[in-house]
Structure 1
């Protein structure tokens, strides 16, 4: 009897979650000038309500719908936190959105079980848009007030690709089977922007984490004969893809330049998959990562920081003879990981990082110079 009562309580709670009105839906009634399709800021709330509503829909029979598998939200310098939704084949919405093909386009694709307002979307979006703001001149005298320099970029088209209606399904392998379909939707959306907004494919970078990286690779295959400029594959998903041929997983042929960042061996893909593959801390068990999935997430933490880091992440060429045997070729120079714009190179690289933010250590030469400087002492006069 007690078990039956618990089951009834759980079912009632799930029905409340499914039936409750969505905060996202409520915003559609706002006036156009105050309209916000997708607010993307860090929340004090522990849970993302819209995400968990989608999650529970997959658990309750007959409530899950694939009507809209993928949504696209545009962010720009003038509206950095409030995304405007774009739809393929909707010219009127596109004309009002503020999308400008003269600006570089960066498309962010989250992974499995990622929340729509997750840290990948927030951090990468914010890092890119920070490049559109004035910046201090680091060469000025530290004592005087630094002079501000012009922004590095006029603006970006930052598009967050939200496929959480599918990714919230706890059945990972079922979701992985939909990568081709999702890649098709993304490719068709970009093709629409090319046809109706004069978007140049060579101005487009795809930034995908985990399954999002595999979706990026699929979109790259399906956009042919056109080619994206760059795909950044952030710890691309390994399960269900390790035994696949290049035709069914991300590969160097999916864009003019493909760069992968490998940070875990359980959830990620161990083998090099792009023109260049970076292995921070040998690609496994990132520093001070004690929770399952932390090392996997660290890939997009590193990438977001690389976009506007003054030090940058620099790797040295290496050879992976086995999982435990690496040969570091430190006489072959240093190569930048991530960053904006992308910096094409070829090979496999080892990167060392700090164990907390900021993670970037800069070049080996910069590290040596910093360690050689005498410790600064602050004198206090009474």
Structure 2
């Protein structure tokens, strides 16, 4: 965050604290959003209105793999679309300053459609994510999550969608959007780390919460956390480049896990030092698959694995 944007965030926070700015924004059927604690994590910013964020839901199915149908919570739109309630439905949610046509989103969508009979919904919140102030984008995630929950409720009501067949895949701020969506139906560390569970992705947001961390230190404690250290060293050619590569490499791992015959097998371990010493081999410790084929019926905790420094990333020695 630059000096001026940082100063602006401080001014907004102080103004909110002193009651000089509105501490609540209400948007019709979505309800009201406050910037009071614990939702003061985004520099005091309130989310923008849905009309400003302009979220679109782009539906891809085996009937329309290349050109999406734009769907909404409108009953007539949902009844006319290609979505099938007997298929699994995967929502792909991009992060800060990203968009639904980024190569990683397209690659993940194509991998899913090539591998299984599935509905894929790419969530376009690019207008809300493309903010000069990260905190404003972080605040907007709450509205995006609410809109996803609204759509899922409509799909349940009008297309008999079962929530257990829904998989929300979010990167960076998209992971927290997934958390907000899941929380309403009952996943980035910046602006969320160490905050109360109401404002971040947590184990109570879904039947199964699964996180892939590719930058050395876990930021939040969840049902299962994948820790992959190899990428930390293969990407770190410069500070800014290293951070970006670490942060985005999870996208590549998840996409490869969809189609690869090699399973990203990780072992449960207390910490990385124990993993490096070989204290947690499969058989002695629980081992499970990372990525698309991760399942909820496994021991909760931190799982570790190594990867290659370029595609294919999965190492056969780590395969089940």
TM-score (structure 1 length as normaliser):
0.64
Q: Which residue of 2 aligns with 1:374?
A: none
Question: If you compute each CA radius of gyration, which structure gives the higher value, 1 or 2?
Answer: 1
Structure 2 unmatched runs, 5+: 1-48
The aligned residue for residue 174 of structure 2 is 212
Mapping of 1:106-185 within 5 angstroms?
106-132=90-116, 155-185=117-147
What is the distance in 2 between the residues matched to 1:158 and 1:328?
A: 40
Q: 1:363 to 1:339 in 2, by over 3 A?
A: farther
Give matches, 1:338-357, under 5 Å.
Answer: 338-340=291-293, 342-345=295-298, 346-357=300-311
> Who is 1:244 aligned against?
195
Q: Tell me if the contact between 1:313 and 1:363 (Cα under 8 Å) persists in the aligned partners.
A: no
TM superposition shift of 1:341: 6.4
| Structure 1 Cα separation of the partners of residues 50 and 82 of structure 2 | 30
Equivalent of 2:225 in 277, 281, 296 = 277
Deviates more, 1:296-305 or 1:337-346: 337-346
1:308 lines up with 2:270 in the alignment: no
1:170 shift after superposition: 2.0
1:202-247 CA distance string (max 9 Å, x none): 10010000000001011111112xxxxxxxx4xxx01111131112
Tell me the SS of whatever aligns to 2:261.
Answer: coil
2:208, 2:316 → 1: CA distance? 23
1-structure distance, mates of 2:319, 2:256: 20
**Does the CA contact (< 8 Å) of 1:260 and 1:273 recur in 2?**
no
Any idea what the Cα deviations from partners look like across 1:13-50, whole Å, max 9, x if unmatched?
A: xxxxxxxxxxxxxxxxxxxxxxxxxxxxxxxxxxxxxx
Structure with bigger helix share is 2
- 8 Å CA contact 2:288–2:294 kept in 1: the answer is no
Match of 2:28 in 1: none
Q: 1:75 corresponds to which residue?
A: 60
**1:198 matched to which residue of 2?**
160
**Larger RCO, structures 1/2 (Cα 8 Å, 6+ apart):** 2
Shift of 1:93: 2.3
Task: Look up the SS of the partner of 2:54 in the other structure.
Answer: coil
Task: Note the C-alpha offset of 1:274.
Answer: 2.3
Equivalent residue for 1:337, pick from 281, 290, 303: 290
Deviates most, 67-76 or 181-190: 67-76
Q: 2:72 aligns with which of 87, 100, 108?
A: 87
2:58–2:68 Cα contact (<8 Å) kept? yes
Stretch of structure 1 that moved more, 97-106 or 326-335: 326-335
Q: State which drifts further: 169-178 or 195-204.
A: 169-178
Q: Which runs of 5+ in 1 are unaligned?
A: 1-63, 133-154, 225-232, 367-382
Contact 2:267 2:286 in 1 (8 A): yes
TM-score scaled by length of structure 2: 0.76
RMSD across aligned positions (CA) = 2.5
Cα deviation 1:248-304 (Å, max 9, x = unaligned): 110011111111100125xxx72453211110127x625245324011110011001
